[in-house]
């Protein structure tokens, strides 16, 4: 989950341990001051009466790690991100201290926190079907007579391949989050838990010296068969059954990840294990971070634009920062679009599809514009989904949160998010993100275009019969009929922003748009031009971008060498109504 998505939080559900009244009072004051709803429930109680899946919800736990684990059970199945406030003693998971509560939450709602996706473990077997965030332990049952045998034998299979017989106290199957608990005390390795989606099998007091922990993928099915009675515990006893001889359990990675919010007020992972677990590979105090690191430890995909010493100055810094923010906003908005796109694919009723598409537009636009407003409150914003805020001087953003609505409504993956920044009314920075393929196209005017951080450029073909074309809206099919036989084909994708990006990356040699809105093409124009494309109107005149009008404009884009042939053919066969 992208941390920028948290900027649209409008509801907090807090799970509260006893003796936390002071912290709850402060949380209520903070939420009320910011117009954010707050509901509190006691630890162990259900949240169904206060949780609304249609609101952007942040889960908060107030207590120690036990309360945090209860929060995982509650919030993870609902895909709700969770922040842990520590009012306990030795807390390793809940890492925001009460004195930092308000500052940490401010960081969250400004979209500057990060979200770790934590692997959970799923357990199915006799009398048990549950998930956990830490570990599954299968151990011997203590005998009534202390002199009786105190070992258990377990046969283990990985995807039906026999691993072997484990003889000893038992086994622990832990997640990376749980690697610092039982598995660490059993000489298992520490796993850095953030966005680490693995499981490890750790023998407990094994009788074979050569047996070592095994790391597997979350898709691996671990089948464990008991040769005698065994005790099964999940997350320290939050689920517990006694297994009989010959019974089998299946352990694998859970489908739902847990989303844990981290702020700059949290202890970093290695600081936490140094202070709380006595991990002595370094001292408790960490050295100063490098100048390029962020306070919250956030790592985002690079848009691939580095500073040009020839550019310099405040404008260059603004554009680079804008590119970073636009990238984060687009990726954050892509998350709900992917989620809702999956719902569209499974719905047959047209009215329901329309509701989901409207909700997708709304959610994506809200995320993008909130992120921009947080970072650039003095900039204007033009979006199809909200009233325009246009500045005569300075910078204005042009946003299309869902370009390719028709494709989205029919479950087609060819839709995109388009975000551009204008200076003096002209696009100077563009980001186009494709949620279903996770492709990211970016550019700053005059400084090259990139896809996923790698430079891209147009083709150099100059002959129609060697070229592939893309068509946008073509109401009477005239462009298709004019060029289909003359080229290697004309394709129509249904997203103007994508059309320009595919021209920029060499996936097509030219693109035609009968008419366009400014928000459809603002970002794509920057990317295509920065990649070397030629953009004109249907007469070959330079394309004029005007974001202050609803009038549509024709656009012809090409790799450059092909442009004369396109114009000649287009002029010859242009319908009489357009002459």
Annotated binding site: 65-66, 134-135, 150, 384, 400, 402-403, 520
Residue spans of beta strands (DSSP E) within 501-552: 510-516, 534-536
Partners of 192 in the beta sheet? Answer: none
Rounded Cα distance between 38 and 62, Å, is 13
Q: Per the structure block, which two tokens stand in for 71?
A: 């929060």
- Phi first, then psi, for residue 439 (nearest 5°) are -85, 140
- In terms of phi and psi (left: phi > 0; alpha: psi -120 to 50; beta: otherwise), the region of 97 is beta
Partners of 170 in the beta sheet? Answer: 139, 204
Rounded Cα distance between 94 and 272, Å, is 11
Rounded Cα distance between 82 and 68, Å, is 9
Cα atoms found within 13 Å of the Cα of residue 506, Cβ hemisphere only: 10
Q: Exposed, middle or buried by CB within 10 Å (0-12, 13-18, 19+), for 386? A: middle
Partners of 383 in the beta sheet? Answer: 386, 399
In the annotated binding site for NAD(+), the residues are: 65-66, 134-135, 150
Q: How far is CA 505 from CA 216, 283, 357, 428, 523, in A?
A: 38, 49, 29, 18, 14
Q: Per the structure block, which two tokens stand in for 437?
A: 């393929």
Q: How far from the centroid of its chain's Cα atoms is residue 73's Cα?
A: 21
The one-character DSSP state at 464 is G
Set 32, 65, 255, 308: catalytic member: 65
How many CB atoms lie under 10 A from the CB of residue 552? 14
Residue positions counted in the chain:
579
Q: How far from the centroid of its chain's Cα atoms is residue 29's Cα?
A: 30
Q: How far is CA 308 from CA 388, 456, 537, in A?
A: 33, 18, 32
Q: Which of 336, 256, 395 is nearest to 7 (CA)?
A: 336
Rounded Cα distance between 578 and 383, Å, is 29
Per the annotation, the verdict on 255 as an active-site residue is no
Rounded Cα distance between 526 and 444, Å, is 7
3-state class percentages of the chain: helix first, strand second, coil last, to nearest 5: 30, 30, 40
Rounded Cα distance between 443 and 79, Å, is 33
Rounded Cα distance between 376 and 222, Å, is 50
3-state secondary structure of 75: helix
- Element spanning 71, H or E: helix 65-75
In the annotated binding site for Mg(2+), the residues are: 384, 400, 402-403, 520
Catalytic residues: 65
């Amino acid at each position: 989950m992208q941390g920028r998505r948290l900027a649209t939080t409008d509801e907090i559900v807090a799970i509260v341990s006893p003796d936390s009244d002071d912290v709850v009072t402060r949380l209520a004051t903070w939420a009320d001051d910011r117009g954010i709803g707050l509901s509190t429930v006691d630890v162990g109680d259900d949240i169904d009466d206060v949780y609304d899946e249609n609101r952007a919800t942040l889960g908060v736990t107030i207590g120690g790690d036990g309360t945090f684990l209860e929060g995982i059970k509650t919030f993870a199945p609902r895909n709700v991100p969770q922040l842990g406030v520590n009012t306990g003693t030795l807390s390793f998971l809940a890492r925001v201290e009460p004195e930092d509560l308000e500052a940490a939450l401010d960081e969250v709602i400004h979209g500057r926190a990060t979200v770790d996706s934590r692997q959970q473990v799923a357990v199915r077997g006799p009398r048990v079907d549950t998930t956990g965030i830490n570990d599954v332990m299968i151990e011997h049952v203590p005998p009534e007579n202390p002199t009786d045998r105190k070992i258990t034998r377990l046969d283990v299979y990985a995807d039906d391949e026999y691993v072997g017989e484990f003889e000893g106290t038992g086994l622990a199957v832990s997640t990376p989050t749980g690697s610092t608990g039982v598995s660490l005390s059993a000489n298992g390795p520490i796993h850095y838990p953030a966005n680490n989606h693995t499981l490890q099998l750790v023998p407990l007091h094994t009788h074979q010296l050569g047996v070592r922990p095994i790391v597997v993928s979350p898709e691996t099915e671990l089948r464990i068969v008991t040769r005698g009675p065994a005790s099964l515990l999940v997350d320290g006893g939050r689920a517990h059954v006694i297994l009989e001889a010959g019974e089998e359990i299946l352990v694998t990675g859970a489908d739902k990840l847990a989303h844990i919010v981290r702020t700059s007020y949290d202890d970093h992972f290695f600081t936490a294990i140094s202070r709380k677990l006595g991990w002595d590979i370094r001292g408790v105090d960490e050295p100063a971070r490098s100048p390029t690191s962020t306070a919250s430890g956030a790592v985002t995909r690079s848009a691939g634009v580095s500073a040009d010493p020839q550019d310099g100055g405040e404008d260059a810094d603004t554009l680079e920062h804008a590119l970073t923010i636009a990238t984060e906003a687009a990726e954050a908005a892509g998350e709900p679009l992917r989620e809702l796109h999956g719902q569209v694919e499974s719905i047959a009723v047209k009215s329901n599809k329309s509701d989901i598409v409207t909700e997708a537009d709304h959610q994506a636009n809200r995320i993008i514009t909130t992120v921009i407003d947080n970072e650039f409150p003095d900039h204007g914003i033009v979006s199809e989904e909200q009233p325009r805020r246009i500045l005569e001087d300075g910078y204005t953003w042009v946003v299309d949160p869902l370009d390719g609505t028709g494709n989205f409504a029919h479950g087609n993956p060819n839709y995109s998010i388009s975000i551009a920044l204008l200076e003096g009314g002209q696009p100077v920075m563009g980001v186009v993100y494709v949620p279903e393929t996770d492709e990211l196209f970016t550019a700053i005017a005059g400084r090259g275009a990139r896809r996923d951080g790698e430079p891209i450029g147009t083709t150099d073909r100059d002959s129609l019969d060697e070229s592939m074309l893309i068509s946008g809206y073509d109401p009477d099919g005239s462009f298709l009929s004019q060029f289909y036989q003359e080229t290697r084909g004309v394709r129509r994708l249904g997203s103007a922003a994508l059309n320009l990006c595919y021209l920029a990356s060499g996936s097509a040699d030219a693109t035609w748009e009968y008419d366009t809105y400014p928000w459809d093409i603002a970002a794509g124009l920057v990317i295509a031009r920065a990649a070397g494309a030629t953009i004109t109107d249907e007469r070959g005149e330079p394309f004029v971008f005007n974001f202050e009008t609803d009038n549509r404009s024709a656009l012809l884009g090409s790799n450059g060498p092909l442009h004369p042939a396109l114009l000649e053919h287009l002029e010859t066969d242009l319908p009489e109504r357009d002459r």
